[in-house]
Chains A and B, each alone.
Chain A
Amino acid sequence: MPAEPGAGRAETLRALLPALALAAMLALIVYLQPRAMSYNGMRLLLNFSLPLIFAALAQLCVIAASDIDLGLGAFIGLVNSLSALLLATRPLLGALAMLACVLAYAGMGAFIAVRRLPSIVVTLGASFVWLGLALLVLPTPGGSAPEWLAALVRLKPPLLPLPVVFAIALAAFGHWFFMRSSYGVVLRGIGGAPQAVARAGWSLLAGRAALYGLAGVFGCLAGLLLTGLNTTGDANFGAPYTLLSIAAVIVGGGEFTGGIVAPVGAVLGAFIMLLTGSLLSFMDVSTDWQLSVQGAILIVVLGTRALQRQAAA
């Protein structure tokens, strides 16, 4: 990273922006509804963020390669359907299906790398494949969550509610892997400076497959948590996660190009996107407007960032 004057300050601001936005939202929520401050309040408020924080990390893996995944929501729907159908009754087959899902994702990454295809079209086409597969195995909503999965999402760890524990663990892992580990730097390089990565002797093909495979792992975990929360499967349950996960990564400080991602920010971004719903209902505004607020947050965050960049230039 070139040490331009002021670059450090801009980077700090980029990292702080999502944290400040989340703090402001939480403050407003607690002001409107003081009971939200308690352990149980937080648990209720945040429990449905469990799939989203994993979906955000999955999307972050793809965005790190300067790609975008428009099929993630459908993939989460597929995992939701498969796990609800198989895991409770035929655990071994269910586990194999999960493994196949992850491998399919890694394969998609390799395919994109080999044929140099635009990820936006491939993942959009793949979204039809995931949705079709989900409808094939589970034509109508149904199935059930295995007991251990339903029990997992009901866990009440001491001090901090489960979603917060998961978020901290996931943010810490993501930060270590992408920002501190040496292979993480290489993987981000695939999005930032692919030629340099290739000249340094790393395989772009293996790197992209690894990023997509990791995205598949996080996508699978998101789908499993969705099954645990809803205790049933539905091919269409995953649909909103495509756009929400992209929004979470971008609001959290990621960029579409250059392999610029911020795992801690993405987790915060997921909470921000999720809390818009609670905030609206505490303010007695119809949740019909939730998408508007999410869109507006995206615009404000990105507009601010662009203005900062202009001021710095």
Chain B
Amino acid sequence: MNSARRWLDTNPWIWSLCGAIAVWGLTIASVGGRGAGATLSTALGFATFYVVVGIGQMLVISAGPGNIDLSIPSVMTLAGYLAMGVMQAQDARLALGCAVALGVGLAAGVANLVLIRGLKIPPMIATLAAGFIMQSMTIAYSRGSTAKPAPLLLAASLARVGSVPVIALIFLAVAALVALGLARSVFGRSVLAIGQNPRAAYLAGIRIGRTMALVYILSALLAALAGLLLAAYSGGASLNMSEDFLLMSIAVVVLGGTSIAGGQASVAGVWTASLLLYLIVTMLNVFGVGAGLRYILTGLIIIGVLAVAKGRPTA
């Protein structure tokens, strides 16, 4: 009994996985058992985008209280737009477009870092201000630019092995790598140590500057990648393509069992929570619930799960 309790506490992702399975079952049951595989396959594809930004946000949040990346949606849109603009829907320019997207991510990460570490601006307002600037760059750039992906990228973003989307497979592997890195690498242990107690981490000789730099740059790079893929997946970049991603990037981290106070991360939880959130949207769509009620329920579920999760003694 005690060991089961402990296992549950160290594997908080199990809750969102149970939730995802229950929601999936409910959805399938309501339509008489049809489309079970198709629903899951679509969910895997869409959830991948939440996962990509969620992993970045998780690394940032794990680095301790006050650390958060509010620039994620702006980085996504800017990277998506610039990459599509450079590609001009030609396969020959695909590599250039991808390089531009990653360049945007790198630049955004460095900019956030300069504001946070260099100018000592609190991360929340630093990433907010950087996000403002990137958002207006996107608005200015979007006038009269083509925003269509290269055909090859479009095909890649939609490709499936059997019925599993290729991007989902890729980011399952990436998530496994990040989980391994958090548990075993010096960088991963440093992030968690800083998140638990920055002073103790400093006294233990952990290189705080270098670790924080990597955390914010990784978050921005992943956001840029998500922007590139999302722009391709939806057949082009649009100004509002990432509007839900600020909440979702934080929600999948919190629902997945990562501690909002830092120092404890769950990569598996980011995946299961992403699936849960997307499957909830699917379920409400199947039930014929309108956009208004869907927003209300999503918001209430996020707050409710947070309230319950925080109530457990170990949290």
Contact = CB atoms under 8 A, between A and B. Distances in A.
Interface of A: 68, 111, 115-118, 120-122, 124-129, 131-136, 139, 243, 246-247, 250, 256-257, 286, 288-292, 294-296, 298-299, 302-303, 306-307, 309-310
Given A121-B250, A288-B136, A291-B133, A135 B125 contact: no
Given A118-B260, A298-B125, A291 B139 contact: yes
A133 B292 contact: yes
Contacts, number: 138
B299 A127 contact: yes
Contacts of B294: 132
Contacts of A68: 124
Nearest to B123: A256
Contacts of A124: 246-247, 250-251, 302
A93 B297 CA distance: 24
B121 A115 contact: no
B129 interface: yes
Contacts of B122: 256, 302
A291 B125 contact: no
Interface in B217-235: none
B261 to A, nearest CB: 8
Nearest to A239: B243
A132 B130 contact: no
Contact of A296 (B133, B247, B291, B293): B133
B129 A127 contact: no
Contacts of A117: 306-307, 310
Given A125-B247, A125-B300, A128-B295, A306 B120 contact: yes
A56 to B, nearest CB: 15
The 8 closest A-B pairs by CB, nearest first: A132-B295, A128-B299, A295-B132, A132-B296, A136-B292, A135-B292, A291-B136, A129-B299
Contact of B250 (A120, A136, A307): A120
A129 B125 CA distance: 24
6 contacts: A117-B306, A129-B296, A139-B291, A243-B132, A246-B128, A306-B121
B252 to A, nearest CB: 12
Given A121-B306, A299-B129, A129 B300 contact: yes
Nearest to B254: A121
Contacts of B144: none
A289 B136 contact: yes
A298 B129 CA distance: 6
B132 A256 contact: no
B290 interface: yes
Contact of B121 (A118, A243, A299): A299
B299 A132 contact: yes
- Of A117, A121, A243, A256, the most chain B CB neighbours within 10 A belong to A121
A79 to B, nearest CB: 16
Interface in B257-315: 260-261, 290-300, 302-303, 306-307, 310-311
Nearest to B305: A125
A291 B299 CA distance: 27
Contact of A122 (B119, B125, B128, B306): B306
Contacts of B184: none
B174 to A, nearest CB: 25
Contacts of B130: 295
Given A116-B310, A292-B132, A292-B133, A250 B140 contact: no
Contacts of A132: 291-299
Interface string B127-146: 01111110111011001000
A269 to B, nearest CB: 13
A126 B293 contact: no
B68 interface: yes
A295 B134 CA distance: 9
A139 B291 CA distance: 9
A286 B302 contact: no
B151 to A, nearest CB: 30
B278 to A, nearest CB: 15
B260 A302 contact: no
